[in-house]
Amino acid sequence: MSHPPPAQPTMPFSGLVLTLGIAALLIGTLIATFSTNGRTPGLVILGIGAALTVPSYLLVRRAWNRTVYRVTRRRSPGLLLAAIGVTAAIVAGAYLFVIVLDEVLGVRVPAVALIVPGGLLVLRYYLEMRTALQVNARGVKLGGVPTLWRSVDRLVLSKGAAAVTIEVRRRADAPAQDHEPVPVEIPARKVVPADLVTAVRRFGPADVRVVRRQGTAEQQLSP
């Protein structure tokens, strides 16, 4: 039995352009807001940032959809507010750090150099927390717990009135891991079994199955 080697995703060129576009938006905003003579240059930089960000975002999203199948959890206002709060703390901390460096050491560092990477980390954390199920070339991540393909036996779907419970069943000979995947309940409207089967067939070994459980019986949805 052979398994495809895990593939490490690489950032597409559009991802670099998106990063530059976001940086230009932030820099342009700061210049247009705080520079007494820089409103026009700031607006020009803002325009360049917008021109880079919009198309590159669409390209990054398209490239991402080709390399991963992802299902999100229910929307959580608490999680969104937490992400906003952490972002605000990063912005405030960046400005405080810049002021301290300037006053104590006389070193001037643009705050955006700290805000951009901090904001990207918060965005990544937020997306990770929103992800309920992810299938890619490495394996299956359910509820934040990854399982490599070589350990996956099958995915089990149990449909309720308004939600679908998804489980990852590991192989009997799978090596032990620190955290075992636990069942995750996802709104039924977010889970299309055919799409999940297609993702497993695309990324996983041919012997990994997707089944639907009804009571104690399991109906196979994929070969």
pLDDT digits (tens, 9 = 90+) for 154-175: 999 998 878 899 999 999 888 8
Angle between helix 13-34 and helix 39-67 axes, rounded to 10 deg: 150
pLDDT in tens, 195-210: 899 999 989 998 999 9
Q: How confident is the model at residue 95 (pLDDT cuts 50, 70, 90)?
A: confident
Please report, for residues 81, 99, 220, the alpha-carbon distance to residue 128 in angstroms, rounded to integers and kept in the order given.
15, 32, 29
Q: 13-34 and 112-130 are packed helices; what angle lies between their axes, rounded to 10 degrees?
A: 130
Alpha-helical runs (H) found in 7-151? 13-34, 39-67, 77-100, 112-130
pTM over 0.75: no
For residue 78, the number of C-alpha atoms closer than 13 Å in the C-beta half-sphere is: 3
Contact between 116 and 124 under an 8 Å Cβ cutoff? The reply is no
Q: What number of CA atoms fall less than 13 Å from residue 221's CA on the CB side?
A: 20
pLDDT at 76 over 50: yes
Q: Which helix (H) or strand (E) holds 170?
A: strand 163-170
Domain boundaries, the chain: 9-67, 133-220
- Which pLDDT belongs to residue 35? 67
Q: Structure tokens of 106? A: 């006389």
In sequence order, the 6+-apart residues with CB closer than 8 A to the CB of 195 are 69
Is residue 180 very low, low, confident or very high in pLDDT (cuts 50, 70, 90)? confident
Phi and psi based region of residue 60 (left: phi greater than 0; alpha: psi -120 to 50; beta: remaining): alpha
pLDDT in tens, 44-71: 887 888 888 888 777 776 766 677 888 8
